[in-house]
Structure 1
Amino acid sequence: MSSGNDQQLPTEAELAEMDRDQLVALGGKLDGVELAEYPDPWPVKGTRAEKRAERTIALWFTLAGVAGLAFLIAMIWWPWQYAPPTESSQHFWYQLYTPMLGITLGVAILAFAVGILLYTKKFIPHEVAVQQRDDNMGAGSDELHRQTFAAHLADAGNRSTVARRSAIKRGAGFGVGMLGLGTAILPLIGFIKNPHKDSGTKDGLYHTGWKQEKPGEKVFLRRYTGNPHEVVLVRPEDLDAGSMETVFPFRESERDDEHALLVAVKRADNPVMLIRLRPQDAEKVVKRKGQEDFNYGDFYAYTKICSHVGCPTSLYEQRTNRILCPCHQSQFDALQYAKPVFGPATRALAQLPITLDPETGYLMAKHDFIEPVGPGFWERKS
């Protein structure tokens, strides 16, 4: 039996008895490969330059492992809970949480990449080969070509001398291990804190900062003026017809509590869009079943957290009465209980029930949202 080049091919029995060097030679001959140059990167073994190169590469891999370990430590134990600027020490470390995650992970990946590049440059043979290729008449590679190709790969690994470079192997193993551990822990990190631990309070997934903490408590609609410690409440006459304003919860008990005032405007699920419809538009409103009394006259309040992936729905189009999310272009109809009419969102925005406090004349929330705000999660029933 012979190939198109009239080369005598070995039988299956002969092929099984060949060692790697013989398979490499046979594969090159069958594939029409001519090795113009196949230099040994280190013809003289054990030189100082070779050892120095090995130590340098091992150092980069070790650095990758150390940075990967630092990433895990920062992700799990670094102070991540918000601390106000008034608590200078805690606030300083809190501000460094996200930068530390980025720096440690970036250094780990960069160091590992540098180690691989240096190893390829210093220890992988840089042969020069000329080869004529065909696709075996469209049939792909047969068993003979697969075995000889595998032999070529094994030979390249052997010539790279990785098997006898324990420092590099240990460093690379450490780096890969830490990066792999970080990859495995990253999706699990959210389970370290039980999201339902405080499910009955305003800190749970089912509630927001608009939840009354005690019976009869009044939670007012508060403007944000740029100063988180300034309290400016909203009266109906403060908004023109066809306008929208972002508001936050305020309790009288928090008036002199700078930390609580700051948290109220920083908490992710607190922002609410207060919309005052034009009279001619208010007549066209279609209310959601069970939420017929959630508005106060022409005033409607919807969460600012998009039901798609939680972006801020910060745009309101007066002419069409549509609420827009700039992240993925979801649109919600303010005249139909903020139900989605365009884009990937599939649920209406949660509506906050509001009314007027007869004693002060300020707008206030009747109670918290009756459904979780924002995107879905496993246990969500709506």
Structure 2
Amino acid sequence: MSTTHEPHTTAGSHVQPPEPLTADELREMSTEDAMLAGTEADGVHIVHRRNRFPVPGTKAEKRVERAVALTFLISALGGVGFIVAFVALPYRWHLPGTPQNFRFYTPALGALLAIMLIFMGVGLVLWAKWLMPEEEAVQDRHDDPTTEQDKLMIEATLLSGLEDTGLPRRGLILKTLGLAGGAMLTVPLVALVGGMIKNPGNKFFHTQFRPNKKLFPPNGHVPIVDVDFRRIGPDDLEPGGLLTVFPGIHEDDSDGFNGVTDAASPTLLIRLHPGQKVQARKGQAGFGWPTANPEYVAFSKICTHAGCPASLYEQQTSRLLCPCHQSQFEVLKDAKPVFGPASRSLPKLPLGVEMGDDGRQYFVALDDYHEAIGPAFWNRP
């Protein structure tokens, strides 16, 4: 190749080819020289360019390479740790006085995610600062159309940039970067998709009011209790009164088998005024108590729009109001929605009465809710 066309640079000088280079001349040049020619042709003047390690493969370079690779390895281990913690750590809420290991679940995920992202960022910064060439450049503006020579010089610039990263000869960094990158791609998939892999079965269609003959022989009817587990009877409500009640299940095991703390079980027990009658929906005529002329009815407290507590009761209009989005349910029409965004009636609980050991009558749930609790998208298929 003609030496008159070979670009050269020193600190503070510009590459100035004496005349435009042809495509053939550019193909004959080294990647470095073609890149430098390309920068000058594109109005980019290399003011200063120096390799961090002019002699490749020195002990100092290897030490730096291992340090950068270590940050990527730690990032990869953080991602693997996140996946393991997401799958293996206990996350279910437990009652006070029982093992509370679930409280470490979210902090562990946050810490491991932070380790993965921080060390990936640190590794990339150290790689650019310690291993890639040090360079200063000034670029001129121009709007000329792209020529064949421009394309070849751009290609050389990209290839030179790849060589500057050192990836082709730094296998350790390449491998650890691949591990860290793989972890970063996998972690979001695990976090977003992992919760949807497990089949919830029919858990959305049952509450702890479900008959339990093991705990309450012989018929399995679950007692209805107040928040302090005091059993509730017909004499505990005045006409027009309302009370939030729960299934009377209380087993302080490690899984928190407790009716009062169960999110799906809050229920509104309502005593109607004398003379008020409920227009029962199909199949629910016998759900109130007494069966023939119900004076007491019970509905799920969880709004069928967005799951808020529909617990504001207007005795004069016999309507339940959800304070979140103003849905209203007509109690005398079996909690049918009459205003607001809710589109489904509140599920109704079959009520019954049993005699207690003290000779008083107490409410029980004769069966579980016959509909899914909560927002309407949990409708039965």
Q: Does TM-score exceed 0.5, indicating one fold?
A: yes
How far the C-alpha of 1:64 sits from its partner, in A, is: 1.4
Q: Indicate if the aligned counterparts of 1:60 and 1:111 stay in contact, CA closer than 8 A.
A: yes
After superposition, the Cα gap between the structure-2 partners of 1:17 and 1:40, relative to the gap in structure 1 and judged at 3 Å, is closer
State whether structure 2 residue 209 is matched by structure 1 residue 210.
yes
- Pairing of 1:137-176 with structure 2 (within 5 A): 148-176=153-181
Deviation at 1:368, TM superposition (A): 1.4
Deviation at 1:236, TM superposition (A): 5.2
Structure 1-normalised TM-score? 0.70
Matches within 5 A, 1:95-244: 95-134=103-142, 148-190=153-195, 193-196=198-201, 199=202, 204-214=203-213, 216-225=219-228, 231-235=229-233, 238=236
User: How far apart, in 2, do the equivalents of 1:286 and 1:135 lie?
Assistant: 78
After superposition, where does 1:249-328 map in structure 2 within 5 Å?
249-251=247-249, 257-259=251-253, 262-272=257-267, 274=268, 276=270, 289-291=282-284, 294=287, 297=295, 299-304=297-302, 307-308=305-306, 312-314=307-309, 316-318=311-313, 321-325=320-324
1:364 paired to 2:369: no
Q: Secondary structure at the match of 2:174?
A: helix
1:228 corresponding residue in structure 2:
none
- Alignment match, 1:4: none
In 2, Cα distance between equivalents of 1:166 and 1:97: 36
Q: Distance in 2 between matches of 1:300 and 1:143?
A: 81
Amino acid at match of 2:109: L
SS in structure 2 at match of 1:357? strand
| C-alpha distance in structure 1 between counterparts of 2:354 and 2:261, whole Å | 29
Structure number, greater radius of gyration: 2
Q: Kindly indicate whether the alpha-carbon contact (under 8 Å) linking 2:287 and 2:297 is maintained by their aligned counterparts in 1.
A: no
Structure 1 counterpart of 2:104, one-letter code: L
- List per-residue Cα deviations over 1:192-222 (Å, max 9, x = no partner): 64433xx4xxxx3322212113473222332
1:306-362 deviations in Å (ceiling 9; x for gaps): 554xxx51364456842144xxxx44322273649556xx65364132435263443
Question: Given that residues 68 and 108 in structure 1 are in contact (C-alpha distance below 8 angstroms), is that contact kept between their aligned partners in structure 2?
Answer: yes
Kept in 1, the 8 Å contact 2:310–2:323? The answer is yes
Which deviates more, 355-364 or 141-150?
141-150
Q: Closer, same or farther in 2 for the Cα pair 1:184/1:321, shift >3 Å?
A: closer
Offset, 1:262: 4.7
1:51 aligned to 2:51? no
Q: Secondary structure at the match of 1:334?
A: strand
Counterpart Cα distance in 1 of 2:114 and 2:345: 37
Alignment identity in percent?
26
TM-score (normalizing by structure 2)? 0.70
Q: Secondary structure at the match of 2:322?
A: strand
Picking from 334, 345, 360, the partner of 2:329 is 334
Aligned length: 341
Q: Give the 3 Å change call, closer, same or farther, for CA 84–300 of structure 1 in structure 2.
A: closer
* Contact 1:354 1:363 (8 Å CA) reproduced: no
Distance of aligned partners of 1:173 and 1:142 in 2 relative to their CA distance in 1, 3 Å threshold: same
CA-to-partner distance for each residue in 1:142-195, whole Å, 9 max, x for gaps? 876566445433322211223222222222122222333333444453466443
C-alpha contact (below 8 Å) 1:242/1:275 kept by paired residues: no
Q: Which residue number corresponds to residue 88 of structure 2?
A: 77
Contact 2:22–2:149 at 8 Å: present in 1 too? no
In structure 2, how many angstroms separate the alpha carbons of the residues matched to 1:173 and 1:374?
45
Identify the residue that residue 11 of structure 2 maps to in structure 1: none
Q: Show structure 1 runs of 5+ residues with no match.
A: 1-6, 226-230
CA distance in 1, matches of 2:338, 2:159: 58
Deviation at 1:19, TM superposition (A): 6.3
Q: 2:245 aligns with which of 235, 244, 247?
A: 247
CA deviations over 1:227-282 (Å, ceiling 9, x no partner): xxxx223345656788765432115xx5xx4338753233332233x1648869x7
Aligned to 1:63: 74
Question: Does structure 2 retain, via aligned residues, the 8 Å contact 1:207–1:368?
Answer: yes
The root-mean-square deviation of aligned C-alpha atoms, in Å, is 4.1
Residue 10 of structure 1 deviates from its aligned partner by: 4.8
Code of the aligned partner of 2:368: D
Letter of the 1:355 counterpart: L
Q: 2:48 aligns with which of 37, 57, 72?
A: 37
Tell me if the contact between 1:323 and 1:331 (Cα under 8 Å) persists in the aligned partners. Answer: yes
